[in-house]
Amino acid sequence: MKQWTVIICCFLCMLSYGQDKKKLVTVKKVLKLMGTRFEITVVAQNEEIGYINIQEGIAEITRIEKMISSWDENSETSQINKNAGIKPVKVSFELFKLIERAKKISEITDGAFDISYASMDKVWQFDGKMDRLPSKTQIENSIAKIGHEKIILDADAQTVFLMEEGMRIGFGAIGKGFAADKTKDLLISKGVKAGLINASGDLTTWGTKATGEKWMIGIANPLSKDKVFSWLPIVESSVATSGNYEKYLLFEGKKYSHIIDPRTGYPTRGINSVSIFAKDAELCDALATAVFIIGRDSGIHLINQIPGVEVVVVDGENKIHKSSGILFDNNQ
């Protein structure tokens, strides 16, 4: 079978089109935010309005980063981490609900997704410098402080408490999707009728392109990216992809992904990429990581139980597998 990889392909027309005698234009900006590549695209009456909308989106992403960043010592997240094992920390309603949703995803994925993964000691390196695998003891010690059940939430006081000193939470596996959703919501509230937010592969859309056509994503062959395996329309929907294309470890002929199972401390194996389709980018982001960790069969079974969510998995042999709601022939 040819080598296939899930790649997000967004074809955006940058010209003006007549639509009900009104000219609409597509305006796009690519920039680095939250330490990663963001693409903000809006459909607007003219370029000036489009760029104003994009600046509003940038401001919203920057605001979210200041709230959830564990690198900013003044962020709410850093305050939670600093007070681990000491005292509960009162946080904004917005952050409280994000952590609450993250804990629920941890429960349905049996801990495969866990924001307390940030407590993990870095015993694995994916820069080509490792000449031996970590010992069993090192690995066990590295995950000793991880556990979503140790994140205590008090809804009445709106506080978050990490039970053990040295615990940390991080939003690396959900934060980009959260930011994409919040930016989309803000722009819709500002009257932007259509657009696309792409947070380094965590993508959400609303409305249609300036032509009136649906936004499309493609499953393509990375060795021949002009040949699309299958097109999938996304309407008022989102998609997120987790993959091991760039960061992985080769040791004694075995490939280890940079995505580590927080329950065992070992890198995942057997999957090359996972793409999740759902209404919200936040959920897509979290579940893409979880399915990567759970594995192909168990992961697809899990997604088949969640209404409104679908998955495409490319396994270690570059074969494509999908949940029941994805309709295309993967034997092409």
27 and 136 co-located in one domain? no
**Torsion angle of C-alpha atoms 197, 198, 199, 204, degrees rounded to 10:** 60
Residue 102 has pLDDT above 90, yes or no: yes
Residue 29 has pLDDT above 50, yes or no: yes
Confidence of residue 130 (pLDDT cuts 50, 70, 90): confident
Give yes or no for a contact between 142 and 68, defined as CB atoms under 8 angstroms apart: no
Paired tokens of 148: 């979503």
Q: Strand 248-251 vs strand 202-206: parallel, antiparallel, or unpaired? A: unpaired
How would DSSP label each residue in 56-68? HHHHHHHHHHHHH
189 and 282 co-located in one domain? yes
Q: Strand 17-19 vs strand 159-162: parallel, antiparallel, or unpaired? A: unpaired
Does residue 221 lie within any of the structural domains? yes
Q: Give the pLDDT score at 216.
A: 85
User: What's 111's domain CATH number?
Assistant: 1.10.3980.10
154 and 213 co-located in one domain? no
Phi, psi for residue 286 in degrees, rounded to 5: -65, -45
Q: Which carries the bigger pLDDT value, residue 28 or residue 8?
A: 28
Phi, psi for residue 147 in degrees, rounded to 5: 160, 110
Last residue in a domain, options 162, 195, 221: 162
Q: How far apart are CA 173 and CA 163, in angstroms?
A: 22
Last residue in a domain, options 132, 162, 192: 162
64 and 82 co-located in one domain? no
61 and 206 co-located in one domain? yes
Give yes or no for a contact between 8 and 203, defined as CB atoms under 8 angstroms apart: yes
Q: Which carries the bigger pLDDT value, residue 83 or residue 257?
A: 83
Q: Which domain holds residue 283?
A: 5-68+175-322
Helices then strands, counting H and E runs in the chain, come out as 7, 17
Least confident of 1-15, 190-204, 263-277, 312-326: 1-15
Confidence of residue 2 (pLDDT cuts 50, 70, 90): very low
Cα 60 off chain centre by: 17
Q: How far apart are CA 220 and CA 7, in angstroms?
A: 6
Residue-wise pLDDT for 218-232, tens only, equals: 654 443 445 555 677
| SS3 at position 223 | coil
With residue 36 as reference, give the H or E element that holds it: strand 36-44
Q: How far apart are CA 98 and CA 176, in angstroms?
A: 12
Residue 327 has pLDDT above 90, yes or no: no
311 and 181 co-located in one domain? yes
Q: Give the pLDDT score at 224.
A: 44
142 and 125 co-located in one domain? yes
Cα 149 off chain centre by: 22
Q: Give the pLDDT score at 9.
A: 45
Give yes or no for a contact between 274 and 291, defined as CB atoms under 8 angstroms apart: yes
